[in-house]
Structure 1
Amino acid sequence: MENEFTKVMSERSNEELIKIVTVDTSNYNATAIEAAHSEIEKRAINTSEFEELKEKATLVKTQEVKTSSVDSGVRLLNFTIDFIVWLIIVFIGSFIIEYFIAPSSQSMISFLIYALIFGTYLAYYAIMELKFQKTVGKFITKTKVVKLNGEKPKSGEIINRTFCRLIPFDRISFVFTNNGFHDYVSKTKVVKDSAVKEY
């Protein structure tokens, strides 16, 4: 059955098609994968070759992701942009708490503001990376969060990554290496968008 990806997949090599339906499935939508399967059937590609080609494709993909890792300068820029965005969120939230919620005591206002600071910090990274694999900073620098093998991280891995940001000195750890503490612990990394082709 033809769909909008039929022509695109007809132009792919056998190796690319096998890569799409095996190691890269998380990077393609269901319609694109369906078109790839149809093209494989049309060409009568021997499925016994899948394992060998899958291993080759996995190796190539790992090398692509490795060479596309971003440097510390990009990570610092991401952090700076995200920090400014987070400060704006906290400022707006603090304004709302102080002028509209108007709790009865100053201690209650202080508690709510501290909760806002902590909660928005975690929520910002978790929500953005769960939904988009990137934060505002990563949108601007055209980078994204991936697993070490280049695949899209699962929800649990993003949550783990988010809480690992609370590790002391995590915010400066990527200055000394391309991957910070929260990358190492959650087994994720930040790469250029071009490292993983998506449809």
Structure 2
Amino acid sequence: MKKYLQIVDRHKASLGTRFVNNFIDTIILLIINFILSFISAVIYNVTFIHFFYFYNNGGFLWNVFMGSVFGFVYFFFWENFTDGRTPGKYITGTKVISTDGKKPTTRQIVSRSLYRLIPFEAFTFFGTDGWHDSMTDTRVINYKNYESERQLKDEINSIGVKETA
């Protein structure tokens, strides 16, 4: 069983902040998709390779599949390689951490990204935690408040400890 810190839950991001994170990241994903669609249309008009035509005209299931692939890659790379932050999380001052207070493992980030692919998973936040948080032992926290309390606790614990230069 993993260690679970109460400080993590005290600084969980609010539902409104999580909504803003998701909104910003969704807008960025839409912009990326628009750019890729434009590039594939240009490539198709130059090369007549049918894959690039299919990319823009593949139908509903193709769009769902490609949206899932891009969403997985987007969230995995941002959260794994930028210390648990996506552009939405940077803007709102939030961050993903493990419930034990450490940086999430790559396995946890992969799991978070896969859980997001479940249809209607976003509605699981109307409970206490969304599936991609609760099932992976991660939380999105207000980073500044969390760090302030953690630093304060470290300073209190260091009272009476002799400093060495």
Shorter chain as denominator, the TM-score bin is 0.7 to 0.9
The alignment's TM-score, normalised by the length of structure 2, stands at: 0.73
Higher RCO structure, 1 or 2 (CA under 8 Å, sep 6+): 2
State the identity as a percent: 31
Measured against aligned partners, the alpha-carbon deviations of 1:129-157 in whole angstroms (never above 9, x if no partner) come to 00111111100000000111221001111
Which residue is 2:158 aligned to?
none
Cα root mean square deviation, aligned: 2.4
Higher helix share: 1
Change (3 A) 1:154 1:189: same
Which residue is 1:189 aligned to?
139
Unaligned runs of 5+ in 1: 1-57
Which residue is 1:66 aligned to?
9
Measured against aligned partners, the alpha-carbon deviations of 1:138-189 in whole angstroms (never above 9, x if no partner) come to 0000000011122100111100110010122112222x13521111111111
**Partner Cα separation in structure 2 for residue 168 and residue 142 of structure 1:** 27
Q: Secondary structure at the match of 2:141?
A: strand
Q: Of residues 146, 159, 162 in structure 1, which corresponds to 2:110?
A: 159
Matched, 1:99 2:99: no
How do 1:78-117 residues align onto structure 2 when only pairs under 5 Å count? Answer: 78-102=21-45, 103-105=48-50, 106-107=53-54, 109-111=56-58, 114=63, 116-117=66-67
Asked if 1 retains the 8 angstrom alpha-carbon contact of 2:95 and 2:140, the reply is: yes
**Partner Cα separation in structure 2 for residue 87 and residue 78 of structure 1:** 14
Paired residues, what number? 138
**1:110 Cα deviation after fit:** 3.0
**Partner Cα separation in structure 1 for residue 54 and residue 20 of structure 2:** 36
Q: Secondary structure at the match of 1:97?
A: helix
Amino acid at match of 1:81: I
Which residue is 1:172 aligned to?
123
Unaligned runs of 5+ in 2: 152-165
Structure whose CA Rg is larger: 1
Matched, 1:134 2:85: yes
The alignment's TM-score, normalised by the length of structure 1, stands at: 0.62
Which residue is 1:143 aligned to?
94
